[in-house]
Amino acid sequence: QVQLVESGGGLVQAGGSLRLSCAASGRTFSSYAMGWFRQAPGKEREFVATISRSGSRTYYADSVKGRFPISRDNANNTVYLQLNTLKPEDTAVYYCAATLRVYGLNAGEYDYWGQGIQVTVSA
């Protein structure tokens, strides 16, 4: 079992930045590939980024590529999502998730989820 807790969300103006953190507890963090997803009101949950167990491989949704780098610190059981050049359309609840797969691009491939954290970008 893995418990995931997100932090770092909030309200920011367009063009600003935030850094989301996801702290993991439970089984060995480095056994899991990690991902970030987001869900805007009235929309389905969508993939944002994923990082492999060692951190050597990352994949991004086209909408965030070049703006939202994902990283992880296996020594501190934490995965990060740096949100740069934020746009109003980035407003959503952001979720981190863990998978035993090599990596995951779809929500159904993830085994554990955090509770989510709100990011609101004002115009």
Question: Model confidence over 41-84: pLDDT tens digits?
Answer: 999 999 999 999 999 999 999 999 999 999 999 999 999 999 99
Chain mean pLDDT for the chain: 96
pLDDT at 26 over 90: no
pLDDT at 103 over 90: no
**Helix/strand/coil (H, E, C) string of 8-55?**
CCEEEECCCCEEEEEEEEECCHHHCEEEEEEECCCCCCEEEEEECCCC
| The predicted structure's pLDDT at residue 30 | 93
Residues 32-44 have a mean pLDDT of 97
Residues 24-31 have a mean pLDDT of 88
